[in-house]
Amino acid sequence: MSELPPPLNPPVRLLMGPGPSEIHPRVLRALAANTVGHLDPYYLSLMSDMQGMLRTLFRTQNPMTMAISATGSAGMESTVVNLIEPGDSMIVCVNGVFGERMVDVAGRAGANVTRVDRPWGEVFEPSHLKEALAKAKPKVVGIVMAETSTGALQPLDEISNLVHDAGALFLVDAVTALGGMPVEVDKWKIDAIYSGSQKCLSCPPGLAPASFSPAALEVVLQRKTKVQSWYLDVSMLAKYWGQERVYHHTGPINMTYGLYEALRIILEEGQEQAFERHASNHRALKAGLAAIGIRYASNEAHTLPMLNAVHIPDGIDDMKVRGALLNRFGIEIGGGLGAYKGKVWRVGLMGHGSRQGNVLAFLGALEQLLAEQGHKFEHGASIAAANAEYAGPKSR
């Protein structure tokens, strides 16, 4: 190489897309702390403390609660490949991109997959699953709690009861949900669940919090065949994350520091306070967007507070708006995926990024760009509506 590449100098962005989210300065400082060995007593103690915080956030007593050393997609893969052996029956609920992905992962693991589909933006009721449960007699039922591609929030408690009545294990994708809304693993009798560090936890991507119930762990330990992934084999990870601390792989030490600090930040704030902050900023954004004629893509009763999927107004150029938001205002939002490609914007209010200032900055920039493309609305209406929401009922 004749010349070195330029020095590292990432641009400053306001991350308001579907992830990664803004990183808290304390987390960035934690990432830069001194690296120790992956079997150093300090690191092993840190792992134990982080497990305790993850149990608190997952609201579970599951001993097998950990952070998979990979992104949220590996969290999905770890839960599926450990519970599924070739020929096992699995039902996957599909109402967006990440349900589709679970179907693919399950098929690669050798499952006989039964899809249950709902329109994008809609959610599942127990009645939608009864026939499939009776026919497929599944070992596992998988569902996405917070579908990042559509902004739809899936209620879980009644479906969980139905799944367990059918004798199946209940597997949940909580990648976008964890840290931004209640995730009740024990109350909802969830057998396997995974998340990602880069959404409402406001840590860089690279770790996947996960938890397995005793019943799920027993299924893993009683398998007739080896897990197809050595790296994600929970029977071995259980020895690394359990009391034995048997070496399995070199853990990502500094990423663990980051997630540890991110969890401390959430618990310092208080879970209920963090959840209400996400809900409050969502309500303000929703009011602001409605004031300039922008509708949500998901069912009104099931919108996520941390991921706002909204229809692009007629006549508005998707790429031009998102490009200008990024290049002129330094604001990143997401475009649509799959069936929603070119039809929706996905606006994230996740973790540290769920702040009043971010809501108002985005609405102000969006108004300017929409006006430039001829979208008709009362100028300043979105800001006024958001501020009225923040001020409370007396101002409206």
**In this structure, what CATH number is given to the domain that contains residue 185?**
3.40.640.10
For position 373, what pLDDT does the model report? 97
Q: CA 366, CA 363: separation in Å to the nearest integer?
A: 5
**In this structure, what CATH number is given to the domain that contains residue 363?**
3.90.1150.10
Q: Could you tell me the pTM of the whole model?
A: 0.96
Length of the chain: 396
Q: What is the DSSP string of 36-64?
A: --TT-HHHHHHHHHHHHHHHHHHT---SE
Q: CA 42, CA 37: separation in Å to the nearest integer?
A: 9
Same domain, yes or no, for 175 and 317?
Answer: no
DSSP state of 309: E
CB-CB contact of 385 with 291 (8 Å): yes
Q: Is residue 263 part of a domain?
A: yes
Same domain, yes or no, for 330 and 312?
Answer: yes
Domain that holds residue 382: 270-395
Same domain, yes or no, for 222 and 98?
Answer: yes
Number of domains in the chain: 2
pLDDT tens string, the chain, 396 residues long: the values are: 679 999 999 999 999 999 999 999 999 999 999 999 999 999 999 999 999 999 999 999 999 999 999 999 999 999 999 999 999 999 999 999 999 999 999 999 999 999 999 999 999 999 999 999 999 999 999 999 999 999 999 999 999 999 999 999 999 999 999 999 999 999 999 999 999 999 999 999 999 999 999 999 999 999 999 999 999 999 999 999 988 889 899 999 999 999 999 999 999 999 999 999 999 999 999 999 999 999 999 988 999 999 999 999 999 999 999 999 999 999 999 999 999 999 999 999 999 999 999 999 999 999 999 999 999 999 999 999 999 999 987 555
Q: Is residue 311 part of a domain?
A: yes
Q: Is residue 18 part of a domain?
A: no
Which domain-ending residue is among 219, 237, 267?
Answer: 267
Same domain, yes or no, for 178 and 288?
Answer: no
Q: CA 319, CA 303: separation in Å to the nearest integer?
A: 24
Q: CA 338, CA 115: separation in Å to the nearest integer?
A: 17
Which domain-ending residue is among 240, 267, 294?
Answer: 267
Same domain, yes or no, for 235 and 280?
Answer: no
Q: Is residue 20 part of a domain?
A: no
The 3-state DSSP class for residue 85 equals coil
Q: Is residue 234 part of a domain?
A: yes
Same domain, yes or no, for 222 and 280?
Answer: no
Same domain, yes or no, for 289 and 255?
Answer: no
Same domain, yes or no, for 384 and 259?
Answer: no
Q: CA 213, CA 137: separation in Å to the nearest integer?
A: 21
Same domain, yes or no, for 90 and 233?
Answer: yes
**180's tokens:** 């931004």
The enclosing H or E element of 144 equals strand 140-144
Q: Is residue 170 part of a domain?
A: yes
Q: CA 139, CA 199: separation in Å to the nearest integer?
A: 30
Q: What is the DSSP pairing of strand 344-348 with strand 307-311?
A: antiparallel
CA distances from 249 to 106, 155, 232 (A): 25, 36, 10
Q: Where are the alpha helices (DSSP H) in 157-196?
A: 157-165
Q: Is residue 144 part of a domain?
A: yes
Q: Is residue 3 part of a domain?
A: no
CA distances from 150 to 106, 308, 334 (A): 22, 8, 11
DSSP state of 342: T
Same domain, yes or no, for 278 and 231?
Answer: no
Of 92, 40, 83, 266, nearest to 169 by C-alpha is: 83
CB-CB contact of 90 with 84 (8 Å): yes
* Owner of token pair 């134990």: 48
For position 244, what pLDDT does the model report? 85
For position 394, what pLDDT does the model report? 58
Rg of the chain over CA atoms, in angstroms?
22
Same domain, yes or no, for 248 and 276?
Answer: no
* Owner of token pair 């408690």: 157
Same domain, yes or no, for 173 and 51?
Answer: yes
Which domain-ending residue is among 267, 284, 308?
Answer: 267
For residue 10, with 0-12 CB atoms within 10 Å meaning exposed, 13-18 middle and 19 or more buried, which class applies? exposed
For position 1, what pLDDT does the model report? 63
Q: CA 92, CA 124: separation in Å to the nearest integer?
A: 11
